């Protein structure tokens, strides 16, 4: 079929332009700035809300099938050890135990405390855990290293003795990754640069350099990783899995057990959070899929394996830490050079890169160089976590820019505006500053510093960059019009909590002009057609255009049915807003037309083509929309106790065409709250003397609670990007990128001195104010000796 | 090898723990409450129950239930595994997140921190018990309206905390956002639903107050 030409009205705010696109005939005419939509873009409460508030929603953790056994995994207590021997015979005799397997092999090197050793399946979860105590294992402990910068040293124990295979998931940013050869524990990542940074710094009249550190953060989804495996025959299985990617679970189980993917049925009806760690049947640091499947095979019964909270912290992934040296050069009042050199550890895994913001946001800075390195340590592997690499990078660069601005006596907002070319982000900075009361607030904080007030306030801002990674042909959607007038939409996507089923129902209601209550969405099941993982903020932009195409095609067929009944040509049928068909002076209600459908239903299946537009600006390195975001935060700090509070955050974001402002605000709130938590309290603590995590729980691994939550105001700058037929782009990740950075900048504004390490804990604030000695300093060492 | 050298949790219960635990929970049940005919009836002798499953009776969401569980089984596990009531969630399993919150005789309790036998003869209400059949309570409906949930895994516990708040809040007194934040300060949420939860609870409280006021006016008119 020949392509069809469309002229679209694209852009944002007052800057709408006309663009011509040529699209396949199967692609619905894209919604643009002129489209008047009735259901899409309105506040629709989520369609499964009543099930979640009444306890009826069944998550993987809740699913039970007849004769189901419970599994538990024995994990290595040592950060580095060789497995000498293992004896599971006693465990096999314990009450309720039906199968025991060895997961690690004799002679294998175990690389972190928490690595799989053996596993048990028993009738009750308590019995399975009891039986683990009866497994006898002999380990030969080996030297280990858990501290990032220590691991870069020449004498540090080497974690990986062979080149490391990258583990990439749909949660990783497209284009990221790759790396040079391993030296000791250090693996350089691909360098990105423009101009000449060495020369740029030499030409600068003001140079600022600082070292910025961020901690390892764990995903801490409330539902732990886990799955239930039931073998349905020797060649087929059903898997209920707490996953954010049903199809990567299917493929992994098929590969591990030598099955055809079509014979692996995966179900994730409800999912208790993921945040990037739940791709695949296994966790990044534990072969959960293999363990559950193998135990089920040996026990000849379905097996459920759910991690406990300790396991969730140590072996299911984390956000790598970072140690970033940022050097900025200012020349004649302008930002002239940015250099970022970073080291970060993803434990035994890869992916500690940062710096996309440095190269991608302040594009009017002529000289930039980013050199990042993965550092291997004996810790559980990191993995993608909500905007991998970005919150770390934003924290270091944005705080450094504020420090440079202070040295240059420039306003940090003005300095950013002068170097950012993205029209939407510039608009967001300007509008945000007005809404937030930026100038007045900066004035107030200056007065607080002047007065040396005990309680001080400060404000800061930071920017985010993300891309529209919506994928072509990844999601295949089916739309059916039933004879009873019901519209059914099917796709195997899972709902991570963003509310995608509700948005799909809105698309159906919009296309057919029917009440939402007549649209049924079937999802969360591999039998419902291929789909994408909930990663890269790509779900809505990958799935909604496919659903719309399927709906439009089904509607086309329904129009033919109506035309035949009305005895007019198809082009002469007109549907009104009640879903009634008119033609030839006659009318048929939607129900009357549907009754005339041959067979049970009209069924149409469709996908979406590659992204075809990126108005007003592309993401660096690809012809896709660059998503803009700016956040401004206010902090209140007690300079006597060092306690930092965040009373308010303004989040200004672009996410293309807004599908549902209600669920969208939820997602943005979530991004800001996660970022505030990262800024103020979260940190994985690995004990140097034991090589184990000291806080693998939720009472000493702190996450933000209701009392700590800022007042969040969300401003949406709707953009008609012309990227796909619904105009959706993602928001899950962008909304958490700038928060911690903005808070750190606000703290700098309040104190006049920077705190360059996250989390911004009282001890660090007091150290920055010179009220207590810095850890590791001579004074601190002396003080510690006295205590001992 | 002596018995003590291979002391397990089960062994400990068998030797010393169970009697104390069980007598403790039986004493609290009283005898005149409905459903209090505890299966373990001898409250004075150190009853030797377990380690195998022992029956107990409780009132769950208004229904009398009998279930047989080991003395070491937590209320949370008994609800989820033995009573097919999976609204309360396992998240931390040690009382730090409130995802497993239930009402025991009307008071919010972390069900992971209680043994099932602790509630013998008592009334337990889970999130499933907050609605009347298919009809959501005003609070639950407000949660849906305000999108006070995302993944939904903390939602059961949030609702139980908030239902308890609305029950104990004095009638006729306006509820503040701070009071709601206090009430849910033990409920951890990773998706970031706190602001919408606060809005939902304030709305539900407001609605209930207006309804009560409306009823009072109606009542006067009728009298």
Residues of A in contact with B73 (CB under 8 A): 126
Say how far apart CA B123 and CA B106 lie, in whole Å: 8
**CA closest to A50 among chain B residues:** B144
Q: How far is CA A14 from CA A11, A17, A427, A433, in A?
A: 8, 9, 11, 19
According to DSSP H, which parts of A437-518 are helical?
A: 438-451, 500-512
Euclidean distance between CA atoms A241 and A223, whole angstroms: 11
Binary contact (A58, B145; C-beta < 8 A): no
Residues in chain A: 788
Residue B152 has pLDDT above 80, yes or no: yes
Cβ count near A557 (within 10 Å): 14
Residues of A in contact with B140 (CB under 8 A): 50, 53-54
Cβ–Cβ of B147/A662 closer than 8 Å? yes
Per-residue confidence band for B216, with pLDDT thresholds at 50, 70 and 90: confident
pLDDT single digits (tens) A568-583 = 999 999 999 989 999 9
Residues of chain A with Cβ-Cβ distance to B89 below 8 Å are: 59, 61, 222-223, 272
Name the residue among B93, B155, B159 with its Cβ closest to that of A308. Answer: B93
Q: Residue B159 above 70 pLDDT?
A: yes
Predicted confidence band of residue B46 (pLDDT cuts 50, 70, 90): low
Q: Note whether B136 contacts A56, CB cutoff 8 Å.
A: no
Res A711 pLDDT > 90: yes
The SS3 call for residue A215 is: coil
**Interatomic CA distance for residues A663 and B99, integer angstroms:** 22
Q: For residue B154, give the nearest of A45, A222, A666 by CB distance.
A: A222
Look at residue B18 and tell me whether its pLDDT is greater than 50.
Answer: no
Confidence class for position B24, pLDDT limits 50, 70, 90: very low
Among candidates B88, B93, B185 on the partner chain, residue whose Cβ is nearest the Cβ of A707:
B185
Q: How many CB pairs under 8 A join A and B?
A: 176
* Average pLDDT for chain B: 83
Buried b (16+ CB within 10 A) or exposed e, A238-262: bbbbbbbbbbbbbbbbbebbebeee
Mean pLDDT, range A662-676, rounded to an integer:
98
Q: How does pLDDT run across A461-492, given as a tens digit for each residue?
A: 999 999 999 999 999 999 999 999 999 999 99
Q: Do B149 and A49 touch (CB under 8 A)?
A: yes
Query: Average pLDDT in the A745-760 region?
Result: 98
Distance (Å) from the alpha carbon of A699 to chain B's nearest alpha carbon: 6
Least Cα separation, residue B73 to chain A (angstroms): 8
pLDDT (tens digit, 9 = 90+) per residue, A43-56? 999 999 999 999 99
B144 with A125: Cβ contact below 8 A: no
From A52, A55, A222, residue closest to B190, measured CB to CB? A222
Q: In angstroms, what separates the C-alpha of B106 from chain A's closest C-alpha? A: 18
Q: Report the pLDDT value the prediction gives residue A430, as an integer from 0 to 100.
A: 97
CB contact under 8 A, A496 and B196: no
Distance CA A721, CA A423 (A): 13
Q: What are the tens digits of pLDDT across the range A78-135?
A: 999 999 999 999 999 999 999 999 999 999 999 999 999 999 999 999 999 999 999 9
B130 and B155 in contact (C-beta within 8 Å)?
no
Nearest to A497 among B140, B151, B182 (CB): B151
B8 pLDDT above the threshold of 50 = no
Q: How confident is the model at residue A180 (pLDDT cuts 50, 70, 90)?
A: confident
CA distance A240 to A246: 9
What's the number of CA atoms in the CB half-sphere (13 Å) around residue A122? 20
Euclidean distance between CA atoms A219 and A272, whole angstroms = 12
Q: What is the mean pLDDT of chain A?
A: 96
pLDDT at A422: 97
The closest of A383, A397, A336 to A221, measured between CA atoms, is A383
CB of B121 closer than 8 Å to CB of B57: yes
> Per the CB < 8 Å rule, is A56 touching B151?
no
Q: What DSSP assignment string belongs to A362-431?
A: -TT-SEEEEEEEEE--SSPPP---SSTTHHHHHHHHHHHHHHHHHHHT--HHHHHHTT---HHHHHHHHH
Mean pLDDT over B149-158 rounds to 98
Which residue in the set A53, A224, A306 is minimally distant from B155, CB to CB?
A53
Smallest Cα distance from B183 to chain A, Å: 9
Please state the ipTM of this predicted complex: 0.96
Minimal C-alpha gap between B198 and chain A (Å): 9
Compute the nearest-CA separation of B58 from chain A (Å).
20
**3 state SS of A324:** strand
Per-residue pLDDT tens for A603-650? 999 999 999 999 999 998 888 999 999 999 999 999 999 999 999 999
For A535-565, what is each residue's pLDDT tens digit?
999 999 999 999 999 999 999 999 999 999 9
Across A508-525, b (16+ Cβ under 10 Å) vs e yields: bbbbbbbebebbbbbbbb
Q: What predicted TM-score, i.e. pTM, was given to this entire model? A: 0.94
The answer to whether A222 contacts B127, with C-beta atoms less than 8 Å apart, is: no
Q: Is A660 helix (H, G, I), strand (E, B) or coil?
A: coil
First vs last Cα of chain A: how many Å apart?
81
Determine the average pLDDT of the residues in A64-86: 98
């Amino acid at each position: 079929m020949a392509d069809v030409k469309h002229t679209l009205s694209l852009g944002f705010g007052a800057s709408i332009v006309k663009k011509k696109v040529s699209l396949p005939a199967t692609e619905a005419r894209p919604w643009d700035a002129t489209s008047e939509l009735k259901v899409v873009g309105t506040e629709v409460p989520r369609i499964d809300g009543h099930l979640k508030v009444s306890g009826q929603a069944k998550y993987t953790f809740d699913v039970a099938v007849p004769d189901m056994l419970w599994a538990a995994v024995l994990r290595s207590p040592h950060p580095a050890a060789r497995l000498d021997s293992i004896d599971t015979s006693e465990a096999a005799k314990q009450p309720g135990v039906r199968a025991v397997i060895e997961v690690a092999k004799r002679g294998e090197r175990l690389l972190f405390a928490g690595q799989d050793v053996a596993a048990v399946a028993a009738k009750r979860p308590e019995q399975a855990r009891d039986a683990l105590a009866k497994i006898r294992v002999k380990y030969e402990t080996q030297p280990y290293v858990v501290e990032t910068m220590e691991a870069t040293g020449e004498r540090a124990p080497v974690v990986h003795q062979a080149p490391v295979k990258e583990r990439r998931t749909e949660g990783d940013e497209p284009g990221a990754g790759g790396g040079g050869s391993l030296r000791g524990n250090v693996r350089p990542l691909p360098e990105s640069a423009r101009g000449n940074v060495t020369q740029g710094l030499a030409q600068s009249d003001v140079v600022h350099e600082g070292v910025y550190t961020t901690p390892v953060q764990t995903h801490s989804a409330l539902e732990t990783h886990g799955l239930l495996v039931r073998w349905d025959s020797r060649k087929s299985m059903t898997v209920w899995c707490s996953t954010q990617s049903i199809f990567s679970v299917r493929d992994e189980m098929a590969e591990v057990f030598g099955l055809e993917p079509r014979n692996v049925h995966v179900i994730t009806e409800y999912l208790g959070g993921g945040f990037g760690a739940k791709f695949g049947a296994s966790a990044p640091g534990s072969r959960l899929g293999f363990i559950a499947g193998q135990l089920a095979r040996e026990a000849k019964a379905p097996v459920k394996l759910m991690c406990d909270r300790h396991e969730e912290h140590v072996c299911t992934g984390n956000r790598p830490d970072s140690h970033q040296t940022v050097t900025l050069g200012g020349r004649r009042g302008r930002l002239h050079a940015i250099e970022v050199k970073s080291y970060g550890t993803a434990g035994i895994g890869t992916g500690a890169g940062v710096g996309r913001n440095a190269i991608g946001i302040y594009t009017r800075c002529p000289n930039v160089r980013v050199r990042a390195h993965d550092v291997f340590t004996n810790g559980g592997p990191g993995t993608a976590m909500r905007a991998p690499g970005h919150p770390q990078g934003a924290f270091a660069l944005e705080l450094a820019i504020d420090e440079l601005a202070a040295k240059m006596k420039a306003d940090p907002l003005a300095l950013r505006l002068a170097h950012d070319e993205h029209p939407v982000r510039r608009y967001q900075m300007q509008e945000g500053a007005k809404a937030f009361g930026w100038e007045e607030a900066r004035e107030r904080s200056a007065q607080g510093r002047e007065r040396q007030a005990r309680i001080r306030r400060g404000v800061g801002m930071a920017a985010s960059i993300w891309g529209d990674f919506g994928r072509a042909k990844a999601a295949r959607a089916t739309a059916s019009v039933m004879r009873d007038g019901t519209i059914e939409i099917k796709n195997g996507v899972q709902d991570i909590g963003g509310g995608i089923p509700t948005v799909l129902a809105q698309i159906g209601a919009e296309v057919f002009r029917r009440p939402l209550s007549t649209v049924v969405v079937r999802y969360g099941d591999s039998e419902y057609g291929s789909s994408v993982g909930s990663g890269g903020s790509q779900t809505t932009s990958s799935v909604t255009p496919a659903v719309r195409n399927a709906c439009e095609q089904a509607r086309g067929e329904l129009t033919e049915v109506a035309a035949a009944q009305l005895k007019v040509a198809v082009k002469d049928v007109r549907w009104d807003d009640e879903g009634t068909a008119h033609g030839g002076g006659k009318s048929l209600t939607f129900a009357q037309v549907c009754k005339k459908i041959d067979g049970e239903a009209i069924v149409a299946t469709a996908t979406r083509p590659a992204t075809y537009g990126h108005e007003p600006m592309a993401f660096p390195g690809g012809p896709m929309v660059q998503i803009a975001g700016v956040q401004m935060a206010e902090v209140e700090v007690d300079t006597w106790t060092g306690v930092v509070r965040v009373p308010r955050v303004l989040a200004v974001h672009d996410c293309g065409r807004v599908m549902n402002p209600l669920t969208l605000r939820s997602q943005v709130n979530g991004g800001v709250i996660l970022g505030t938590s990262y800024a103020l309290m979260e940190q994985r603590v690995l004990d140097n003397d034991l090589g184990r995590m000291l806080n693998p729980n939720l009472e000493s691994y702190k996450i933000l609670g209701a009392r700590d939550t800022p007042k969040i105001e969300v401003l949406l700058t709707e953009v008609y990007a012309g990227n796909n037929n619904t105009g959706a782009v993602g928001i899950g990740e962008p909304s958490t990128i700038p928060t911690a950075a903005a808070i750190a900048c606000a703290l700098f504004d309040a104190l006049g001195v920077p705190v360059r390490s996250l989390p911004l804990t009282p001890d660090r604030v007091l150290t920055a104010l010179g009220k207590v000695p810095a850890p590791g300093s001579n004074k601190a060492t002396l003080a510690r000796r006295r205590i001992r | 090898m002596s018995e003590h050298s291979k002391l397990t949790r089960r062994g400990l219960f068998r030797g010393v723990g169970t009697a104390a635990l069980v007598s403790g929970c039986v004493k609290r049940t009283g005898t005149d409450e409905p459903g209090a005919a505890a299966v373990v009836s001898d409250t004075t002798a150190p009853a030797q129950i377990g380690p195998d499953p022992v029956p107990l009776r409780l009132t769950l969401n208004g229904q009398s239930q009998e279930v047989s569980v080991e003395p070491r089984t937590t209320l949370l596990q008994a609800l989820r595994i033995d009573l097919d009531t999976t609204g309360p969630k396992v998240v931390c399993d040690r009382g730090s997140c409130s995802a497993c919150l239930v009402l025991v005789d009307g008071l919010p309790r972390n069900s992971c921190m209680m043994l099932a036998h602790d509630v013998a003869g008592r009334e337990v209400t889970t999130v499933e018990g907050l609605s009347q059949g298919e009809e959501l309570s005003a609070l639950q409906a407000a949660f849906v309206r305000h999108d006070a949930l995302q993944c939904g895994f903390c939602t059961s516990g949030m609702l139980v905390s908030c239902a308890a708040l609305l029950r104990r809040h004095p009638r006729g007194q306006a509820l503040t956002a701070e009071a709601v934040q206090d009430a849910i300060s033990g409920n951890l949420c990773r998706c970031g639903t706190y602001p919408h939860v606060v809005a939902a609870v304030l709305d539900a409280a407001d609605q209930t107050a207006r309804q009560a006021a409306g009823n009072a006016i109606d009542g006067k008119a009728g009298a």
